[in-house]
Amino acid sequence: MMKTESLFFGMLLLVLFTLCGCRDEFDLEIPNYASEQEKIESIDSWLEELQLDEKFNGAILLIKDGQSRLAKGYGFTNHEKNEEITANSSFRLGSVSKQFTAAGVMLLKEKGSLSYDDLVSVYLENFPYEGVTIRSLLNQSSGVPDRYIQLALENKDAIEVLTLQKATELIIDENRPTRKDPFDKFEYSNTNYILLARIVEVVSGKSFEAYMMEELFQPLGMENTRVWNLLSAETDFTNKCGGFETNKGTYEEVVPDFLDGVAGDGAVFSSVNDFLIWDEFWYENALLSDTNLAEAFKKPQLNNGKSSDYGFGWLVTPDGAWHSGSWLAARTYYQRNTENGTSIVLLDNSSNEGLYDIAEEIANIWL
């Protein structure tokens, strides 16, 4: 199966509002005067129906004022259909992982180990792109060509499993010219976050997986969250959901390939129960100062004088922030309304392309 990541947020917005031209399949009608409990019950029963129709297989979290209002699983964790999803089942997050990578970098900034405006060349030997800073990687304005997957495919015969170090070497060795005017526009790039994860390894002296576990997930008490790829140990991660495609009652497993040894742009797994902790983290936490925390949601000023909507792993909106992700049959959507203290998380492990339509319906009711 050809696996593709959602690379441009313009495309994501198009997906969100018009995917498949089949919006009528996902209409959820709840009166404006409905009580909060009536809304929750309607959303819950709707997702149950969608799961039976093979249009949703995953988990939901509804948050209000720091409290979980609905945290529930629907369907199965794997293609064998022998284990039901719970609120503790851990899903592949795809590009929603980028905000976790950003948080890892922010922790290093908090400790004084780096600065957002440091040149990437300070940390990555022989890095050829002049003027590229850690900040420009975080806010997707670096101009570094997003080609690490293509480079890996071109060198597939020499790579057993792609690692962060190898991916970084391929990027550096190619030294492909940047666009004419780098730093003057937002350009969504998985490569930026591959480089950030490698910087975390270089600065911390730990693997990215170990650093995130020891410095972020364990201190926060996120028991179902970790970085996982082909280089990770399998034995201690038994609640990980596998990816599969659905076809008229048949589930076909989707398995990782040699590209899945990297992290940073993806590779975080988490559960809806852990997302309650994660949502609170972005309001206030003991690991980051308020000033540092606010950096994630600042709209960056570009060199052309315009601003971008992409913060540190977040697409910033007037009332909050959001991000989506997809990889290896997984679909993820996370949106926060910080003005009224509501959030939604939708996780799906069954390649259901209608997830973003489902998310829109629920967001219109809950946020």
pLDDT in tens, 216-264: 999 999 999 999 999 887 667 889 999 998 877 788 899 899 999 999 9
Range of the domain at 253: 9-366
Q: Is residue 1 part of a domain?
A: no
Cα–Cα dist 52/75, whole Å: 8
Residue 140: predicted pLDDT:
97
Q: Is residue 3 part of a domain?
A: no
Does the pLDDT at position 15 exceed 50? no
* pLDDT tens digits along 131-175: 999 999 999 999 999 999 999 999 999 999 999 999 999 999 998
What CATH number has the domain bearing residue 313? 3.40.710.10
Q: Is residue 4 part of a domain?
A: no
| pTM, entire model | 0.91
Q: Is residue 150 part of a domain?
A: yes
Integer CA distances (angstroms), 295 to 22, 61, 131, 220, in order: 38, 26, 20, 20
Question: Total domain count for the chain?
Answer: 1
Q: Is residue 2 part of a domain?
A: no
Number of other CB atoms surrounding residue 284 within 10 Å: 10
Cα–Cα dist 93/347, whole Å: 8
Q: Is residue 198 part of a domain?
A: yes
* pLDDT tens digits along 62-120: 999 999 999 999 999 999 888 999 999 999 999 999 999 999 999 999 999 999 999 99
Q: Is residue 141 part of a domain?
A: yes
Residue 29's H or E segment, with its range, is none
